[in-house]
Structure 1
Amino acid sequence: MAQSISREAALRVALAARELGSLPVRKLISALVERLELPLTEAKLATVTVADLQLLLQGDDVVESEVPREQLKQAVRLLWGEGIANHDLPPVAHYADGDMPGSIRVACASNREQLLDGHFGSCERFLVYQVSPVEVRLIDVRPTLAADHAEDRNVARAALIHDCQIVYVQSIGGPATAKVVRAGIHPVKVANRGDSGGEALQALAQLQQALHHPPPWLARIMGVEAGSLAPFAAALAAGEA
């Protein structure tokens, strides 16, 4: 199903599911697919009415019949694409290759705003930042909905951030870790700071400091020699001479 729903449509469905409360995204998308058929496109989502949504959800006992009508109306607006720009989505800045010399690309597992509050296998989206010693720039927001309908969701999620060198998460399982590493991405678990998870920018500020004097693991990612290894490399070179 990964090719059957666009990134924009996936984002609309994810936000609509959140508006409806604790409704799992998978249940909402299954109900929409049954009603609209594949491929699930922005044009098809724009045809959904409040009555349609209430009927298809209640018909499958997906949501309680007591869901307030205003809540259903807001969910429909999100399916139409209305208000998404202001629906806790952080603004994305333009980036072109070469804009930030000495930078690396970092993904953060997130569910809301610019919070680093997601688990690798269940976060709603990845925030993608370009990070240099002097600047942190959010360059993309990538919904994970389409990846979750792939045959191997962990491989699909790793592919979603294939251009990143690091991924920050609150949690990641062993099998997922292996697939992320195999994709050439270094997973970093951050301390749980409660429901909010903490700001992604806080973790990236610490990474910025490390970029000035990178430890060996970060130096490998950056493609430079770690300062802590330089004396040993010099000694080895002298011995060979």
Structure 2
Amino acid sequence: MTAQITREAALRLGMAARELDGLSAAAFAQAVGDRLGLPLTETRLAAITVTDLREILAGNHAEKDCAVGVEPEKLKQVARLLWGEDLAFSELPPLDSHSDGDMPGSIRAACASNTGEVLDGHFGSCERFLIYQLSPAESRLIAIRPTLEADHAEDRNAARAALIADCDVVFVQSIGGPAAAKVVRASVHPVKIPRPESARAVVARLQNSLRHPPPWLARVMGVPAQSLEKFATTDNA
């Protein structure tokens, strides 16, 4: 089980088990994994329901008598912990409100991360991608995507590329040639940031470039690069 669970998911499971009056975190994780499937990621835990919890606690994997005295409100609180809500010790940043179409003319960027809201991950080994929507006026953290499930695919790099295929840019500490080729094939532009840095700071620099994009970013945005305008020719025929 430990090899098939992210740190964040383990934290949520541990806090939820504590809420259930001393239930073994290991037994609880095993039961949840049997219910939701492996690997256990934040994404899978976010789908758990109160009904799931009630049936897990009444099943063969729960500890003896653990379902006795568990009120509906307690089960709701446990579910919120597993979703990542009300979790004071979570290392993950809260998401910003966002709906498709909110930010016309914006682009989407992914940051490879292992820790909080820090760009400190390598493409092939990071625990998650932080997904930002940004325009010249604002930026929003709209999703956090665990990579653990992608690592069980036959082609890990292709699965990771597919995970961020809706993005225009991905920031990583490093990325190998074959992996970079698969990212580019997914129409995502990889950018290396060798040292750990605040993901928000990296995104802010990209955001500042949107009004006057360099050639590579202009290609990503699908607009002419202003720096190349002087080389453009005009057909007067």
TM over 0.5: yes
Alignment partner, residue 200 of structure 1: 199
Q: Counterparts of 1:50-69 in structure 2 under 5 Å?
A: none
Tell me if structure 2 keeps the 8 A contact 1:46–1:81: no
Tell me if structure 2 keeps the 8 A contact 1:12–1:79: no
2:133 alignment partner, SS class: strand
Alignment partner, residue 145 of structure 2: 142
Alignment partner, residue 39 of structure 1: 37
1:151 alignment partner, SS class: coil
Find out whether 1:84 has 2:84 as its counterpart: yes
Q: Which amino acid aligns with 2:176?
A: G
Alignment partner, residue 217 of structure 1: 216
Q: Deviations over 1:4-26 (max 9, x none)?
A: xxxxxxx9654255799xxxxxx
For residues 46 and 122 of structure 1, the distance between their equivalents in structure 2, rounded to whole angstroms, comes to 32
Find out whether 1:130 has 2:123 as its counterpart: no
Q: 1:151 to 1:230 in 2, by over 3 A?
A: same
TM value normalised by structure 2? 0.68
Match of 1:118 among 114, 121, 136: 121
Q: Which amino acid aligns with 2:92?
A: L
The alignment yields a C-alpha RMSD, in angstroms, of 3.3
Alignment partner, residue 8 of structure 2: 15
1:108 alignment partner, SS class: strand
Q: Deviations over 1:81-137 (max 9, x none)?
A: 548333112111222233222210000111121101111111111110001111010
Which segments of 5 or more consecutive residues in structure 2 lack a partner in the other structure?
A: 14-25, 39-43, 65-77
Tell me if structure 2 keeps the 8 A contact 1:14–1:145: no
For residues 6 and 204 of structure 2, the distance between their equivalents in structure 1, rounded to whole angstroms, comes to 32
Q: 1:37 to 1:90 in 2, by over 3 A?
A: closer
Find out whether 1:103 has 2:96 as its counterpart: no
Alignment partner, residue 172 of structure 1: 175
Q: Which amino acid aligns with 1:179?
A: K
User: What's the CA shift for 1:191?
Assistant: 2.8
Q: Counterparts of 1:152-191 in structure 2 under 5 Å?
A: 152-191=155-194
Q: Deviations over 1:55-97 (max 9, x none)?
A: xxxxxxxxxxxxxxxxxxxxxxx99954833311211122223
For residues 56 and 203 of structure 2, the distance between their equivalents in structure 1, rounded to whole angstroms, comes to 37
Which segments of 5 or more consecutive residues in structure 1 lack a partner in the other structure?
A: 1-10, 21-27, 52-77
For residues 226 and 120 of structure 1, the distance between their equivalents in structure 2, rounded to whole angstroms, comes to 28
For residues 169 and 14 of structure 1, the distance between their equivalents in structure 2, rounded to whole angstroms, comes to 20
- State the identity %: 55
Q: Deviations over 1:38-65 (max 9, x none)?
A: 83475489556689xxxxxxxxxxxxxx
Q: 1:13 to 1:228 in 2, by over 3 A?
A: closer
For residues 114 and 79 of structure 2, the distance between their equivalents in structure 1, rounded to whole angstroms, comes to 18
For residues 127 and 56 of structure 2, the distance between their equivalents in structure 1, rounded to whole angstroms, comes to 21
Q: Which amino acid aligns with 1:229?
A: L
For residues 138 and 176 of structure 2, the distance between their equivalents in structure 1, rounded to whole angstroms, comes to 31
2:161 alignment partner, SS class: helix
1:107 alignment partner, SS class: strand
Q: Which amino acid aligns with 1:223?
A: G
For residues 215 and 63 of structure 2, the distance between their equivalents in structure 1, rounded to whole angstroms, comes to 55
